[in-house]
């Protein structure tokens, strides 16, 4: 492909000046392809003229893809594939077209063939990314991870790689491996708030033990002391699991001071007031929470308010 890349400007210029002829010819290519295929087995090695034809139509197809003329590009690339069925770049571009048209299965087939015809370890990163995305969509987790392994061989392990692996393991239902992947990255960047929050979220979702969960809350707050979501969740967990109510009140008070109309934060603070026996204050904050609530958050607030109103 090196020679083709060097000749890019020359061929693109030809395409631009001769596009009308190409467009007319493109409509005939699919018909001619079926006729030419019958003679393919007896064809000699490509001549220099055929090589030039290949480059000419390949760059014409690339221009069509750039302009989102996928039907024209497809016809041109099918002709290129007939000229050289093992050209990885042609197969890759056909995959891009199928992707653009929403033909995911055909795109997958082209990308996999493009990957197969290239020497081991030489596939370009964009092809690996395309295959990885399709494998994730199809739930082919091991194949997706294999693609990420190859990407990491070409680039250094970084936050994007760690995030990809974390998400694959999380969708796969392998929570322990997802946490392990987060921990692996946090060894490189121990104060990365995004990854700390990912780890905290996994612990919350899996019902981690209080000691481990609270240690994670503290770790996040060391890096981001005014993260309101974490303050709220930590306060609510303390309040509802026999923790220090005064500490819970302190953290919850920060959240409603910063966002006085947030129904989730108001609900937490109102519930903490109730647990401390201050039901009049609890009613005030819970009613305010209900006033500002959306449908999604109303049910729990109404449940809290009903409990407070039913107790004397």
At 267 the pLDDT is 96
Q: What does pTM read for this prediction?
A: 0.65
CB-CB contact of 145 with 128 (8 Å): no
At 258 the pLDDT is 96
Instruction: Tell me the longest C-alpha to C-alpha distance in the chain.
Output: 95
d(CA 119, CA 251): 58
| 20-76 residue pLDDT tens | 344 434 433 433 444 344 334 444 556 677 677 777 887 888 788 788 787 788 888
At 87 the pLDDT is 83
At 265 the pLDDT is 96
H or E stretch at 178:
helix 175-188
How far does the chain reach from its first CA to its final CA, in angstroms?
A: 82
| 214-236 residue pLDDT tens | 999 999 999 999 999 999 999 99
Q: Give a yes or no: residue 94 inside a domain.
A: no
| 199-215 residue pLDDT tens | 898 888 888 888 999 99
CA distances from 16 to 11, 19, 23, 64 (A): 9, 5, 11, 10
| 118-174 residue pLDDT tens | 887 788 889 999 999 999 999 999 999 999 999 998 888 888 999 999 999 999 999
What does the DSSP assignment read for 184-208? HHHHH-TT-HHHHHHHHHHHHHTT-
Cβ contacts of 193 within 8 Å, gap of 6 or more: 220, 223, 224, 227
| 1-15 residue pLDDT tens | 444 444 444 444 443
At 4 the pLDDT is 44
Task: Show the domain range for 64.
Answer: 1-85
Report which of 289, 288, 285, 279 is spatially closest to residue 309, judged by C-alpha positions.
279
At 45 the pLDDT is 58
At 215 the pLDDT is 93
CATH number at residue 249: 1.25.40
Sign of CA dihedral 14, 20, 26, 32: negative
Q: Which of 34, 66, 85 is the last residue of a domain?
A: 85
Pick from 52-66, 84-98, 119-133, 175-189: least confident: 52-66
Q: Give a yes or no: residue 232 inside a domain.
A: no
How many structural domains are present in the chain? 2
Task: Give yes or no for residue 305 having a pLDDT over 70.
Answer: yes
The first and second tokens of residue 298, run together, are 């109303």
Q: Give a yes or no: residue 20 inside a domain.
A: yes
| 267-276 residue pLDDT tens | 999 999 999 9
- Between 59 and 196, the higher pLDDT residue: 196
Q: For 241, phi and psi rounded to 5 degrees? A: -125, 30
Q: Give a yes or no: residue 310 inside a domain.
A: yes
CB-CB contact of 279 with 263 (8 Å): no
The first and second tokens of residue 107, run together, are 């795109």
Q: Give a yes or no: residue 4 inside a domain.
A: yes
Q: Which of 85, 112, 133 is the last residue of a domain?
A: 85
Q: Give a yes or no: residue 199 inside a domain.
A: no
At 268 the pLDDT is 96
What does the DSSP assignment read for 153-169? HHS---HHHHHHHHHHH
Q: Which of 50, 85, 120 is the last residue of a domain?
A: 85
Q: Give a yes or no: residue 277 inside a domain.
A: yes
d(CA 145, CA 142): 5
d(CA 138, CA 279): 52
Question: Phi-psi region for residue 134, left (φ > 0), alpha (ψ -120 to 50) or beta?
Answer: alpha
Cβ contacts of 292 within 8 Å, gap of 6 or more: 261, 262, 263, 266
Q: Give a yes or no: residue 10 inside a domain.
A: yes
Q: How many helices and strands in the chain, by DSSP H and E?
A: 18, 0
At 61 the pLDDT is 80
| 238-267 residue pLDDT tens | 999 999 999 999 999 999 999 999 999 999
């Amino acid at each position: 492909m090196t020679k083709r890349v060097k000749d890019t400007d020359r061929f693109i210029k030809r395409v631009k000046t001769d596009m009308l002829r190409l467009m007319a010819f493109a409509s005939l290519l699919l018909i001619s392809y079926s006729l030419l295929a019958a003679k393919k087995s007896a064809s000699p090695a490509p001549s220099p003229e055929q090589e030039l034809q290949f480059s000419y139509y390949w760059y014409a197809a690339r221009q069509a893809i750039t302009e989102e003329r996928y039907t024209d590009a497809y016809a041109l690339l099918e002709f290129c594939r007939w000229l050289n069925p093992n050209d990885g770049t042609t197969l890759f571009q056909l995959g891009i077209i199928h992707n653009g048209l929403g033909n995911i299965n055909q795109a997958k087939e082209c990308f996999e063939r493009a990957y197969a015809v290239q020497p081991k370890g030489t596939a370009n990163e964009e092809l690996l990314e395309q295959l990885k995305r399709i494998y994730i969509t199809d739930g082919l987790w091991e194949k997706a991870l294999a693609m990420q392994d190859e990407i990491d061989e070409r680039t250094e392990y970084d936050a994007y790689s760690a995030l990809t692996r974390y998400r694959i393991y999380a969708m796969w239902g392998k929570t322990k491996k997802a946490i392990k992947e987060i921990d692996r990255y946090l060894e490189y960047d121990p104060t990365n708030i995004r990854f700390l929050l990912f780890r905290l979220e996994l612990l919350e979702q899996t019902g981690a033990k209080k000691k481990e969960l609270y240690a994670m809350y503290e770790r996040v707050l060391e890096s981001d002391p005014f993260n309101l979501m974490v303050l709220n969740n930590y306060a609510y967990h303390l309040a509802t699991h026999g923790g220090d109510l005064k500490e819970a009140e302190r953290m919850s008070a920060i959240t409603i001071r910063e966002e006085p109309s947030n129904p989730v934060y108001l609900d937490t603070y109102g519930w903490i007031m109730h647990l401390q026996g201050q039901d009049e204050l609890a009613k005030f904050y819970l009613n305010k929470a209900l006033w500002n609530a959306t449908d999604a958050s109303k049910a729990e607030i109404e449940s809290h308010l009903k409990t407070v109103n039913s107790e004397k």
